[in-house]
Structure 1
Amino acid sequence: MNSVRVNGIDVHVAQLPPAGDRPAPATAVMIHGMAGDTLASWYFTLAKPVADAGLRVVTYDLRGHGRTQRPRTGYTLDDFVDDLDALLVALDVTGPVHLLGNSFGGTIAFGYAIRRPEAVATITTIESAPPTPAWFLRIAYRLSQAAQPGRRLAAARDFVGTTSVARELPASRLPGDARIAAIDCPVLCVYGGHSRVGELAPDVRRLLPHAEVVVVPGERHSLLVDRPETVREVVLPWLLRHSPQEVVR
């Protein structure tokens, strides 16, 4: 694990080389969720299986999270996409990348694909949605709840209480339906059957009719952490189907 200077802040990064330290034909970038989450949600669930399959894996703490610096301001969707863009340059990641995002991390992945479509091989999201007004209304509500004593994890309360995220993120500039619909890389969206985020699946199907949508019965928003084996069984075969032939099959 190390720290990389990106857009004026130190970003905490953890990387896994492909199994056997052989040259990786592609890179998978795993992006965690908003408030109370860190790169650990990927690092201890799907990162090693993906690296074992032959991909270079990059995980990082979002600005204001984990061991990454926490500026008081700078929390719009564009800021998070800017960080991802600059981080890939700093890490010398070349070639189209496979983006995997949990919750808001998936939204960052969609935002990056809208900005740099040529740089994205696939998008895999867990309990997430593209940057639509309906999704950002839910984000605004969750951030407001995170600020309430006793309602959320202490880390989430601290993050919301010491930054402008609750004001800035809901006010983000959104790309509009046409730009979302222009995403043409393979997309996989996984939802828990008992999660309200799954109610956004019709928006995904409307905007991205080529996307594959999988619902895991009985699971909630914490699907990635609660059922990592199930997520792996869904995601890994799909990811390998859309990866270079040099990746282990």
Structure 2
Amino acid sequence: MVRANGITLHTQRLDPPGPAAAGRTGAPTAVLIHGMASDTMASWYFTLAEPLSRAGVPTVLYDLRGHGRSERPATGYALDDFVDDLAALLTGLDVTGPLLLLGNSFGGTIAFGYAARHPGRVVGIVAVESAPPVPEWMRRVRERLARVAARLPRDGAVTEIGARRGRVAAQRAAETQRMLADTSLARELPASPLPTAEALAAIGCPVLCLYGGDSAVVELAPTVCGLLPQTRVTVLPDQKHTVLIDRPEDVRRLVFAWLAEDCSLDLAQPTTA
């Protein structure tokens, strides 16, 4: 548990094992940022965290404010608050070198927001089913949060989710309902001040965007490439917004190939988590 930006954040740090760490003192630190509402750092922990660490990349995961085991203040859920949390967490962990930021869904938006403020520190961004904080993406976030906030309090909604998707999904839905009831997230986040297009376009590091072919988020790929022409886009056919969880082996393969080809990182081949 790390005190950062006035709250306590639940954090996991995976340092490379001895053989993988040898000769990799200059490797960037990978920071894995999960998505909004029903997600936690577990989605990264069980998919990519250990393979990155075993390949020699120091790896940091954390639960966003209000999520998982991190503190849940009643207010403070604008994009800037999440970016401030990340900056303060890195200071608290004494992570001072280059960063490789990986974000799932809204976690990718936080990564872009951090890179817009600190372009010199970020050497690569992986965004899974995500986009930079541009107005069209934030409109979709607002609509999604509004739908969830309206649906979950209805009688039988959580039970229905459990019947269709299982016990864990029901538990996450119930926790999401509590979070939206106890915090200003659904109001604050959509109203966030956004970085300027010029600040986002100044992000010069390599970018990898992974999308599910059956997800509506893939519609934003042309916007991302227009803003950041160095972006490599890969679409996984027949996949939805949960591509990180549903196709972890493919995500690992694509990320490691991109790290070698676009970021010039000589890493061991990914291993099964």
TM-score exceeds 0.5:
yes
| Stretch of structure 1 that moved more, 186-195 or 21-30 | 21-30
SS in 1 for 2:108: helix
Counterpart of 1:112? 114
SS in 2 for 1:189: strand
For structure 1, list consecutive stretches of 5 or more residues without a partner in the other structure. none
The change in CA–CA distance for 1:104 and 1:161 in structure 2 (over 3 A counts) is same
Q: How does 1:40-189 map to 2 (within 5 A)?
A: 40-147=42-149, 148-149=151-152, 150=157, 153-189=173-209
What is the one-letter code of the residue matched to 1:198?
V
What is the one-letter code of the residue matched to 1:7?
N
Counterpart of 1:205? 225
TM-score by length of 2: 0.87
Contact 1:26-1:243 within 8 A present in 2 as well? no
| Stretch of structure 1 that moved more, 223-232 or 23-32 | 23-32
* Deviation of the 1:182 alpha carbon: 1.1
Q: Could you tell me how far apart the structure 2 residues matched to 1:17 and 1:204 are? A: 32
Q: Could you tell me how far apart the structure 2 residues matched to 1:215 and 1:128 are? A: 12
Counterpart of 1:195? 215
Identity %: 57
Q: Could you tell me how far apart the structure 1 residues matched to 2:258 and 2:46 are? A: 20
The Cα offsets for residues 3-45 of structure 1, whole Å up to 9 and x where unpaired, read as 0001111100011111326365221000000001000000000
What is the one-letter code of the residue matched to 1:66?
G
TM-score by length of 1: 0.95
* Deviation of the 1:244 alpha carbon: 4.7
Counterpart of 1:216? 236
Q: Could you tell me how far apart the structure 2 residues matched to 1:53 and 1:240 are? A: 12
Runs of 4+ residues deviating >4 angstroms: none
Contact 2:117-2:199 within 8 A present in 1 as well? no
What is the one-letter code of the residue matched to 1:187?
V
What is the one-letter code of the residue matched to 1:117?
P
What is the one-letter code of the residue matched to 1:212?
R
What is the one-letter code of the residue matched to 1:205?
C
For structure 2, list consecutive stretches of 5 or more residues without a partner in the other structure. 162-172
Q: Could you tell me how far apart the structure 2 residues matched to 1:66 and 1:124 are? A: 22
What is the one-letter code of the residue matched to 1:156?
T
Paired positions, count: 246
| Stretch of structure 1 that moved more, 28-37 or 232-241 | 232-241
SS in 1 for 2:101: strand
Counterpart of 1:230? 250
